[in-house]
Amino acid sequence: MFISFEGIEGSGKSTTLNSLCAALADEGISFVRTNEPGGSAIGRALRPLLLDRDQQLAQLAELFGFLADRAQHVSAVIRPALEIGDVVISDRYADSTIAYQGYGWGMDINMLNWLNQTVTGGLAPDLTILFDLEVEDGLRRVFSRNADRAGQTTEERFEAEPIDFHRRVREGYLKLAEMHPQRFRLVDASLPQEMVYGQITDILAERCSIYLS
């Protein structure tokens, strides 16, 4: 079972993933938690460059950075884990490229689909959970988090993009969810954390027969 988590900046994926993974461990379910960019060794090396707000990366350089990470991530981490029957939970995957580079930057979606298909060997998640909320609410959370850790990170490049960019990314995600209704489930990420978590446990019970408290 391969599950991806997607959403705009500040949608609260990481916090919910912490609770989810703790619950999976309590149930004795064997799982791998991973993320993009950074799920592979090459991705971990590229991540600071890809996300550094002070880098002037050419769009294609950025795109191929995400794709290089994904190719390695699939072959070295995701496929081997699925082969031994682990549940794989990835914080972002191929839909991020369609939402950010495609809908956000305006790169050709057909080209991106083809590239995603090529680097993943056609491996799509069984389930994609989309954390949806208003862009303004997400960015408000991000800015208050960044203020708390001022000076500790420069990985804020996407967060610093204008609000219209984030609106296009959100719209892109919603279109993807509409195009793939079998694979996508939406959660209302504007709700308090316990309620978001409750939505996730309901989805996992319904879609994956995984029952968590």
By CB under 6 A, name the binding residues for ligand TYD.
9, 13-14, 36-37, 51, 66, 91-92, 96-97, 100-101, 155, 158
Q: Pick from 181, 16, 9: which is nearest to 99 by CA? A: 9
Q: For residue 33, list its beta bridge partners.
A: 89
Whichever of 43 and 204 has its CB closer to ligand TYD, that residue is 43
Shortest distance in whole angstroms from residue 82 CB to ligand TYD: 19
For CA atoms 190, 192, 198, 204, the dihedral sign is positive
DSSP E strands, the chain = 2-7, 31-35, 87-91, 127-132, 184-188
Distance separating alpha carbons of residues 189 and 197, to the nearest angstrom: 9
Helices and strands: H and E segment counts in the chain: 9, 5
> 109 and 135 in contact (C-beta within 8 Å)?
no
Whichever of 92 and 185 has its CB closer to ligand TYD, that residue is 92
DSSP string computed for 140-178: HHHHHHHHHTTTS----TTTTS-HHHHHHHHHHHHHHHH
Whichever of 101 and 120 has its CB closer to ligand TYD, that residue is 101
Shortest distance in whole angstroms from residue 121 CB to ligand TYD: 17
Whichever of 1 and 39 has its CB closer to ligand TYD, that residue is 39
Whichever of 36 and 132 has its CB closer to ligand TYD, that residue is 36
Whichever of 40 and 199 has its CB closer to ligand TYD, that residue is 40
Shortest distance in whole angstroms from residue 48 CB to ligand TYD: 11
Distance separating alpha carbons of residues 97 and 128, to the nearest angstrom: 14
Shortest distance in whole angstroms from residue 201 CB to ligand TYD: 21
Shortest distance in whole angstroms from residue 27 CB to ligand TYD: 25
List phi, psi (to 5°) of 154.
-115, 10
Shortest distance in whole angstroms from residue 92 CB to ligand TYD: 4
